[in-house]
A = this chain, B = another copy of it.
């Protein structure tokens, strides 16, 4: 998505140098993908090996001075999540952004993730509802492909902030496929507006007292 595939991670005195994805070096990345010899290689690792790498990604990467460190995890409440929470605890993380899709099956999974956050003492910054309706580019009618409102209802039920809904937007997925700059090209698209509003709310979330 960030056109960084095939880029190499170098070693410096203070650890691995992350991959910069923009010329201004504002966004740096680290991923297991950069450490594989071939992009098709399967990472057939059991928990302990994954946990060790997640720890290294926090402690052994020369991140420098960061405004935000974003950790994108798979869904669930397993090794990766426990390892990330443990590795980040000394840095008093701001919290978790929990993403759901609108349908009941997905909301059920996310409810368990909220329980996980509570159990591990991780604050929930808020809930985002993704794939929330599809505006047909031919007739501009909106269809709720996966029902609607599950995320907002869950946030209310759990007593955590609702950050917003992101609609399915073919312009966004096409931009990602074709390596085009969605932000520059489609600033008026509904998905862009929704994502900006969510980012703004996250920036305004008060820092956790450590």
Residues of A near any B CB (own CB < 8 A): 1, 39-48, 50, 74-79, 81-82, 103-105, 108, 111-116, 119-120, 134, 136-139, 141, 143-147, 168, 170, 173-174, 176-177
Contacts and interface: CB of A to CB of B under 8 A. Distances in A.
Contacts of A39: 108, 111
A104 B39 CA distance: 13
Contacts of A50: 78
29 contacts: A1-B105, A39-B111, A40-B112, A41-B112, A42-B77, A42-B115, A42-B119, A43-B77, A43-B78, A44-B77, A44-B78, A44-B81, A44-B116, A45-B78, A46-B79, A46-B82, A47-B47, A47-B78, A50-B78, A103-B173, A104-B177, A105-B176, A134-B168, A138-B139, A139-B141, A145-B168, A145-B170, A147-B173, A147-B177
A147 B179 CA distance: 13
Given A40-B111, A105-B176, A141 B136 contact: yes
A62 to B, nearest CB: 27
A147 B1 CA distance: 14
Nearest to A117: B42
